[in-house]
Amino acid sequence: MQLLKESSADIILLETNVEKGAKIYGQVRFVPMNKSYSYSDINGQIHHAQAKDVMIAPGTNPHLFKELLSPKSPELYVGDGGW
């Protein structure tokens, strides 16, 4: 988590099984996002991660963190996936 604190990331996104990981990841400020996120693959195809698999933690932008937790906010698009 120290490395994440030193990063310049607006938020930290974690794809995990929330049901199994919430207790341990909650200890380092991750909370379930309760919505999916999307990204593009190398071919430009959009993929969606299931909401049950997404947790976030605050980074350098607490406003964005709060906004993403709002049920009214749209799905988060994280851009091109290079992984």
Contact 7, 25 (CB under 8 A): no
Mean pLDDT of 55-67: 92
CB 60 within 8 A of CB 10: yes
Q: How far apart are CA 82 and CA 2, in angstroms?
A: 24
pLDDT given for residue 38 in this prediction: 92
Q: With DSSP H G I counted as helix, E B as strand and the rest as coil, what are the percentages for the chain, rounded to 5? A: 30, 30, 40
pTM comes to 0.79
Q: Which band of pLDDT confidence, cut at 50, 70 and 90, is reported for residue 65?
A: very high
Q: What is the pLDDT of residues 16-58, one digit of tens each?
A: 889 888 899 999 899 999 888 899 998 999 998 887 889 999 9
